[in-house]
């Protein structure tokens, strides 16, 4: 049995605000004040709270400061699965406490890694999660629905020991599988997955499944530190080094340490939601733009972060994971064709900002990309926002990428579109990006990254 020092890791859990007033320790007050002063000095154009709502211009804030009870974006079970461009929980928590009521329903049509679902449950709200990526259906059962976690690290270790002796085999339904693995590593992974697949449903089976997903990506030729499925020179060199070492021991160590960490996180979450009666309903592998809701209650809030304009290939990013999880090549190809870069707009969206940008674009392919992106993004938003109660809010968190050097003010386009459809503009908040992950050596449409993200808040004026 492999021993691991991470067993029993104690994780810090943020408090849940019962109202909009939070009491801080004096030292914490001073720290927050220093951060606010630093933010003020960094940007002289900071808009004060007294001017909130006076115009449709961004108000510079920091959600990490507004929601200080969350100090780690990966706390509890938020990071069990890798997912690019995750919705940070501070933004979600802010929207839930400001714009929804306890026991009400919220919806996220671009649910991704289910950040809205977990935060909704912690804040005693119900949530509907929709996403084209079927990975959502694997994330949710482990991330937020285990309310009784009578887990034992020694039982988990015993199961992992048995897994290492497996002679069973499982190979994903993928014609390109051998391209991504050295034969000796593929042989081991096929045995490990074969053993996991025969386990009866249990929390342990889910934990081992999530750990195997991570190991299967990390010990492949696929770059596991950046979005999209591709081979990088860095990863090829890393794998060559591994193959010259005791890679099997490294793989097993990663598997055990990952499983123990997941186990600790699930154990810590379980008592926080043990008596929670709220529901999180997830629909992965669906098109949010034409999904038909079955919930009878009107929604309190739409809280979502749509894919960025030039970073929407989440199916491609998750391919390796999805194949090991049992999805077929036919299914993945079908869903991949529904991602925005591969869909042609069947409706041309026009707003003053879109029209202005398109008039400046010389390339027809970029104009078509804009059409496709806003056609399906706004349709998915509209499909969910129509279920909002009167007075309900839509909180849409977006970035402003550049297309051919032209900044696309996504938040402004969203506002313009829905102002003509029974919604009123309330706020737009600008949150400076403090941490960004850019992968060197690749062509990037926004090489310096986006400097800020924006939360636009709209309220429904009529049913």
The predicted structure's pLDDT at residue 449: 59
Residue 225's pLDDT band, with cuts at 50, 70 and 90, is: confident
pLDDT tens readout for residues 321-359: 999 999 999 999 999 999 887 889 999 999 999 999 999
The predicted structure's pLDDT at residue 224: 78
**Residue whose token pair is 């304009």:** 309
pLDDT tens readout for residues 42-76: 333 333 333 344 457 899 999 999 999 999 999 99
pLDDT at 437 over 60: no
Residue 311's pLDDT band, with cuts at 50, 70 and 90, is: low
The predicted structure's pLDDT at residue 13: 53
Residue 230's pLDDT band, with cuts at 50, 70 and 90, is: confident
* Interatomic CA distance for residues 214 and 232, integer angstroms: 18
Average predicted confidence (pLDDT) for the chain: 86
Average pLDDT on 145-174 reads 92
Average pLDDT on 390-398 reads 97
Average pLDDT on 25-51 reads 38
Average pLDDT on 186-211 reads 97
């Amino acid at each position: 049995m492999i021993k691991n020092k991470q067993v029993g890791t104690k994780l810090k859990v943020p408090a849940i605000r019962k109202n909009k007033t939070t009491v801080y320790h004096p030292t914490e007050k001073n720290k927050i004040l220093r951060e606010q002063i630093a933010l003020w000095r960094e940007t002289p154009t900071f808009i004060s709270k007294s001017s909130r709502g006076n115009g449709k211009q961004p108000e510079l804030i920091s959600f990490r400061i507004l929601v200080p009870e969350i100090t780690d974006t990966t706390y509890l079970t938020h990071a069990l699965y890798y997912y690019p461009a995750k919705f940070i929980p501070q933004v979600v928590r802010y929207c839930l406490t400001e714009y929804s009521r306890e026991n009400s329903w919220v919806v996220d049509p671009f649910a991704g890694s289910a950040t809205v679902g977990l935060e909704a449950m912690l804040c005693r709200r119900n949530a509907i999660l929709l996403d084209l990526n079927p990975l959502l259906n694997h994330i949710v059962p482990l991330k937020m629905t285990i309310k009784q976690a009578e887990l034992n690290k020694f039982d988990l270790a015993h199961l992992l020991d048995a897994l290492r002796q497996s002679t069973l085999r499982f190979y994903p339904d993928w014609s390109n599988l051998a391209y991504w693995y050295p034969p000796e590593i593929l042989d081991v992974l096929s045995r490990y997955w074969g053993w996991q697949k025969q386990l009866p449903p249990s929390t342990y089976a889910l934990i081992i499944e999530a750990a195997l997903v991570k190991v299967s990506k990390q010990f492949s030729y696929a770059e596991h530190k950046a979005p999209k499925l591709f081979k990088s020179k860095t990863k090829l060199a890393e794998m060559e080094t591994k193959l010259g070492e005791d890679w099997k021991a490294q793989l097993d160590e990663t598997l055990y340490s990952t499983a123990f960490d997941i186990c600790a996180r699930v154990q810590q979450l379980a008592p926080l939601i043990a008596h929670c009666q709220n529901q999180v309903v997830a629909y992965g592998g669906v098109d949010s733009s034409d999904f038909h809701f079955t919930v009878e209650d009107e929604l309190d809030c739409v809280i979502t972060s749509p894919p960025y304009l030039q970073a929407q290939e989440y199916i491609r990013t998750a391919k390796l994971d999805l194949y090991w999880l049992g999805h077929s090549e036919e299914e993945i190809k079908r869903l991949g064709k529904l991602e925005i870069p591969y869909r042609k707009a069947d409706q041309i969206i026009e707003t003053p900002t879109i029209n202005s940008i398109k008039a400046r674009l010389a390339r027809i392919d970029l104009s078509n990309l804009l059409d496709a992106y806003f056609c399906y993004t706004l349709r998915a938003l509209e499909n969910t926002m129509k279920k909002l109660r009167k007075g309900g809010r839509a909180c849409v968190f977006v970035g402003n990428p550049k297309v051919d050097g032209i900044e696309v003010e996504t938040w402004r386009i969203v506002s313009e579109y829905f102002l003509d459809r029974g919604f009123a503009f309330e706020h737009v908040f600008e949150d400076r990006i403090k941490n960004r992950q850019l992968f060197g050596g690749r062509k990037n449409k926004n090489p310096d990254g986006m400097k800020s993200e924006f939360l636009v808040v709209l309220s429904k004026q009529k049913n």
